[in-house]
Structure 1
Amino acid sequence: MAPDHLVVVDRPDEDGGRRVRIDGQISGRAFSVQDVAAFMQTAGLQSYDEMDVVRSALIEWRGGGPDVWAH
């Protein structure tokens, strides 16, 4: 059974970074929606931009949505 969300963005850490996992693999820490879009593009979703990230049902935002970057 496939997961509901392809991408999981964890809650912000003490530095404002959010760990990003794509298909269960850690892609890195994002500090903005642009960073999340870049991770998704690197993972093969080249057409994803910042607006796609904000609206995508593929992303689970934990500890706040795409507008939350402070701990």
Structure 2
Amino acid sequence: MSPALRVVVYRPDAEGGRRVRCDGEILGRALGPADLLEFLRRSGLDPDNVRLDDPLLIEWRGGGPTVWSPDTGEE
């Protein structure tokens, strides 16, 4: 895993999708962990070696890796 790579997963939208950026580039809208892992794979990471709770790799906004619904109550 590249320590320089920085992923931001934004809070869930009204449909539960989460916008994903990697190093400032929009990768897409993930509807669940499988989508996120696919985006990371396309960015050059091995999904088998990615921990979704790794704060050095992923910044979660509006809930962590288990939050995929719109009403989290978090900003």
Same fold (TM over 0.5): yes
Q: Determine the structure 2 residue equivalent to 1:64.
A: 63
CA offset digits 1:18-64 (Å, max 9, x no partner): 0000110000000111111100000111x124x72423230000000
Tell me the distance in 2 between the aligned counterparts of 1:11 and 1:64: 7
Q: Determine the structure 2 residue equivalent to 1:26.
A: 26
Alignment gaps of 5+ in structure 2: 71-75
With the length of structure 1 as denominator, give the TM-score of the two structures. 0.82
Deviation for aligned residue 1:5 = 6.6
Q: Is the 8 A contact 2:53 2:65 kept in 1?
A: no
CA RMSD of aligned residues (A): 1.8
Quote the sequence identity (%): 52
1:30-45 matches, within 5 Å, as: 30-45=30-45
Q: Alignment length, in residue pairs? A: 66
With the length of structure 2 as denominator, give the TM-score of the two structures. 0.78
SS at match of 1:55: coil
Match of 1:52 among 50, 53, 67: 50
